[in-house]
Structure 1
Amino acid sequence: MNGDDPQHRARMRRVPPPGQPPTQRPGPHRAGPPGDPQSPYIEPTQVLHRRGPQQPLAYSQVPPENPPPRRRPPLDKPRSAPTHAPTQQPVPYREDPPPRRPYRGSPPPPPPPSRPRGERQARAPRPRRKRHYFRWFLVLLLVLIVAVIGAVVKLDGSLTRIPALAGYADRVGDTPGTNWLLVGSDGRAGLTPEQEQELATGGEVGPERTDTIMLVHIPKSGKTTLVSLPRDSYVSIPGNGKDKLNASFAIGGPQLLVQTVEIATGVHIDHYAQIGFSGFAGVVDSLGGIDVCLPTAIDDPLAGINLPAGCQKLSGPEALGFVRSRATALADLDRINNQRIFMAALVKKATSAATLANPFKLWPMATDTVKSLKVDDGDHIWNLAQLGWAMRGDTVPTTVPIGGFEDTDSGNVLLWDKNKAGQFFDALASDRPIPDDLLTR
């Protein structure tokens, strides 16, 4: 077939031969040209044809003459039906591993290897329970509270009680504040000969006497006042005339001493505490000694001490001789000053944090104290704790205003200044600070 034949070329180009109008094929979906709605309009299509073996492709904007019909797949048969079913393989069931806590500073460990088929899967570890620290803290706190209550009850039961504040006719009425009468006696009960030699007590000397008498006034507000009452003070003893203050203790014991002090001072005594030689030394030793600073050296063979001047630590026997010695220039007045120095050092160490926080120091000190004390029938261990707490800070140490000395039938006695002593004790009885001009440091 010749390629130059016009009919052949027309068939290839799908156009009518020369001189023949193009075939019009109306369709419901084709719209006529504008202006002639009756005439069907054939939308031109692009037809690909070749002009020769070496010529490029060309396009003609003419509709195809006989377009091939479209083939649609039958509705009852899928386009591509599979020839066989897909192969199915069983997949073992696996639980998701428990969430892991994030690691800080190092990468997380690799996941555990998968278990072989047929092997029993290990159970996931249970999450660690939170430790109930607060619950254990409450249990420990409860145990401590019970232990403290038990210790307080035991210590209170170990106190030796005496009727020191027994009522008497026309007793001084209650005065504001809290007043303690502290007494240091020379009682030697329970001491062995070796202990009497160690403490330099001098053996048995008759009725029990007192070398230390202190009046402690705790106000409702302000500093605690520590008043030393010299044992040689010449005062009136009910039923026995005038004599030395310590004679009232030797004659009628604590009851007569309290009555004598109340009448001489006009201050109502609320609590009473008494300690002997052995108990005094035991309390000092349980604290590991007491640190004091001596302005001058003291050499007293009768008290069993030879102490140099300066700061030093005193043991129990040395402390006892320090508060009893009168081998100084002012004799009894220096002893009163030494007693105040010792009392301040004792209270400071007994109430320090190192002692209160250490049960191995606190318990021996408390047990030795209560065993060596004699208190009134109405006093308890918590009253003693209040006394120690009131004396732990700054106190006002002083003594009775002194008017001079005099020789009497009772020996050399100490006289109070009547005017100053009256103002002095009136301030204590009314719970007022003592004027500075009446204080004797």
Structure 2
Amino acid sequence: MRRDGRPGSPQAWSQADTPAYRPPAAPSPTRRQPPPTRRQPPQQPQQGRDWAPTQQPEPYRTQRRASSRPPAAAPPPAAPPRRRPPPPAPEPAPRRRPAGARRWLRRVAAVLVVLLVAVGAGAVYLDSKLDRIDALADYDGRVGDTPGTNWLVVGSDSRIGLSPEQEQELATGGDVGPDRTDTILLVHVPGGGGPTTMVSLPRDSFVSVPGNGQNKLNSSFAIGGPSLLVQTVEGATGIHIDHYAEIGFGGFASIVDAIGGVDLCVPYPIDDPLAGISLQAGCQELDGPQALGFVRTRATPMADLDRMNNQRLFMSALLSKATGPSTFLNPFRLWALASGAASSVRVDEGDHLWHLARLAWAMRGETVTTTVPVGGFDDVAGVGNVLMWDRNRALPFFEALAEDRQVPAELLAPAP
């Protein structure tokens, strides 16, 4: 029996009187909830009580029905995100030069411009002072142009412009008639590179002088001047001459003095009152008069052959000094050299001061110095003692130069 007089089991009564389950209210997001308490075990009914113990309600859970649809295919893996290339590094800002450095650079640039203008104006002025002659005039049957660049360099015994005191100082011997030439050099500058070749043409060489038969080479200069000398050399060698340069006694000495003398190693003692020199053997510095006597003297064991060797030796020393730092970097010495050359060198009408500079620069490096192959000496009636060329060796010698090739070593004259 129930307590209220209605029949029923204690379980039915307890379930009927138990209030319906209400899920606990969600905690307020703004209030901090106390930690959950430990679940208490059910209490045993006390003796003398006939009702059932209360039960702890639990939340209702529904079971998810199994879906009859097949499981959806897994989505393809997502492609990895593309990494954006890093932005380019910013270029460093250009360093600004200090104001003082910029002013200094502007001043240096201005000075260089002024120097260039002055050098250009000076070159044009000095070029106008050159004594020009028609040395390379065309003629019937002239040798055609040959490769490379060929110079005919002549040292004459002209006394023009020399005072009596200068003639005595240079031991020129006074006026001896028409101008003659003691030095005749053929200089070949190859067009394809390589060493320059400087060849001595002995003044007493027995050659054919156009319009004057067989005679000494320097007689062509005395008869017809530079143009006949050029024509004679071209006919004897088969080489086309492109440039001509001539210097006399006074100009020769002034150029040497302008560069402060030349350093030469004299191979043997020379005592020649006619040339005005007395030199000891060994390396020494020669001034203008001494250098002129050195290239003119024949008071040596082999006379004219030694003189040709001395002339080539001197030319190498002169050009080495003229293009060296002591002259090239010294504006006063350089101006004295250029002005001395302009006032004492005669050139062809088509030649200029910069052509002479190119010649000097070409001969400052490796240079082959030699003489035409010599066959011996002979006495010719009406001409005197002459020097004969070795035609069997001279022909291939000049053919090599005309074809812009180096002369074979077996054709070169032995070094002095």
- TM bucket by the smaller chain? 0.7 to 0.9
Which residue, out of 174, 190, 193, partners 1:219?
190
Q: Which residue of 2 aligns with 1:196?
A: 167
Q: Which residue of 2 aligns with 1:146?
A: 117
Quick one: distance in 2 between partners of 1:335 and 1:312?
18
**2:380 is aligned with 1:408:** yes
**2:276 is aligned with 1:313:** no
Which residue, out of 226, 230, 240, partners 1:268?
240
1:159-214 CA distances to partner (integer Å, 9 max, x unpaired)?
11000001111100000000000000000011111111110001111000000000
Quick one: distance in 2 between partners of 1:135 and 1:294?
50
1:199-210 alignment to 2 at 5 Å? 199-210=170-181
Q: Which residue of 2 aligns with 1:234?
A: 206
- Give the deviation of 1:135 after TM superposition: 2.2
Q: Secondary structure at the match of 1:132?
A: helix
Quick one: distance in 1 between partners of 2:354 and 2:163?
32
The ranges of structure 1 where at least 4 consecutive aligned residues each deviate by more than 4 angstroms after the TM superposition are 128-131
1:125-173 CA distances to partner (integer Å, 9 max, x unpaired)?
xxx9555233223222211111111111111111110000011111000
Q: Which residue of 2 aligns with 1:351?
A: 323
Which letter does structure 2 place at the counterpart of 1:173?
G
Identity of aligned residues (%): 65
**2:369 is aligned with 1:417:** no
Q: Which residue of 2 aligns with 1:19?
A: none
Q: Which residue of 2 aligns with 1:38?
A: none
Quick one: distance in 1 between partners of 2:396 and 2:404?
12
Quick one: distance in 2 between partners of 1:194 and 1:134?
52
Q: Which residue of 1 aligns with 2:258?
A: 286
Quick one: distance in 1 between partners of 2:115 and 2:369?
37
Q: Secondary structure at the match of 2:207?
A: strand
Q: Secondary structure at the match of 2:338?
A: helix
**Residues 129 and 241 (structure 1), Cα distance of their counterparts in 2 relative to 1, 3 Å cut:** closer
Quick one: distance in 2 between partners of 1:237 and 1:290?
36
Q: Which residue of 1 aligns with 2:366?
A: 394
1:31-77 CA distances to partner (integer Å, 9 max, x unpaired)?
xxxxxxxxxxxxxxxxxxxxxxxxxxxxxxxxxxxxxxxxxxxxxxx
What's the C-alpha RMSD, in Å, of the aligned pairs? 1.0
Which letter does structure 1 place at the counterpart of 2:402?
A
Q: Secondary structure at the match of 2:398?
A: helix
1:112-123 alignment to 2 at 5 Å? none
Unaligned runs of 5+ in 2: 1-97
Which residue, out of 101, 106, 112, partners 1:135?
106
Which letter does structure 1 place at the counterpart of 2:254?
G
**2:345 is aligned with 1:383:** no
Q: Secondary structure at the match of 1:246?
A: helix
Quick one: distance in 2 between partners of 1:183 and 1:285?
20
Q: Which residue of 2 aligns with 1:300?
A: 272
Quick one: distance in 2 between partners of 1:159 and 1:230?
27
Q: Which residue of 1 aligns with 2:404?
A: 431
Q: Secondary structure at the match of 1:184?
A: strand
Unaligned runs of 5+ in 1: 1-127
- Give the deviation of 1:353 after TM superposition: 1.0
Which residue, out of 167, 170, 180, partners 2:138?
167
- Give the deviation of 1:354 after TM superposition: 1.5
Quick one: distance in 2 between partners of 1:203 and 1:350?
30
- Give the deviation of 1:295 after TM superposition: 1.4
Quick one: distance in 2 between partners of 1:244 and 1:195?
29
Quick one: distance in 2 between partners of 1:314 and 1:432?
35
Which letter does structure 2 place at the counterpart of 1:136?
R
Q: Secondary structure at the match of 1:320?
A: helix
- Give the deviation of 1:432 after TM superposition: 0.5
Quick one: distance in 2 between partners of 1:382 and 1:185?
22
Q: More deviation in 421-430 or 284-293?
A: 284-293
Q: Secondary structure at the match of 1:272?
A: strand
Which letter does structure 2 place at the counterpart of 1:349?
K
Which letter does structure 2 place at the counterpart of 1:314?
L
1:91-124 CA distances to partner (integer Å, 9 max, x unpaired)?
xxxxxxxxxxxxxxxxxxxxxxxxxxxxxxxxxx
Q: Secondary structure at the match of 1:231?
A: coil
Higher RCO structure, 1 or 2 (CA under 8 Å, sep 6+): 2
Quick one: distance in 2 between partners of 1:254 and 1:129?
61
Quick one: distance in 1 between partners of 2:255 and 2:225?
24
Q: Which residue of 2 aligns with 1:83?
A: none
What's the TM-score once normalised by structure 2's chain length?
A: 0.74
1:57-136 alignment to 2 at 5 Å? 130=100, 131-136=102-107
What's the TM-score once normalised by structure 1's chain length?
A: 0.70
Q: Which residue of 2 aligns with 1:336?
A: 308
Quick one: distance in 2 between partners of 1:427 and 1:133?
55
Quick one: distance in 1 between partners of 2:209 and 2:99?
76
Aligned length: 314
**Residues 416 and 134 (structure 1), Cα distance of their counterparts in 2 relative to 1, 3 Å cut:** same
1:320-331 alignment to 2 at 5 Å? 320-331=292-303
Q: Secondary structure at the match of 2:199?
A: strand
Quick one: distance in 2 between partners of 1:425 and 1:129?
63
Which letter does structure 1 place at the counterpart of 2:221?
F
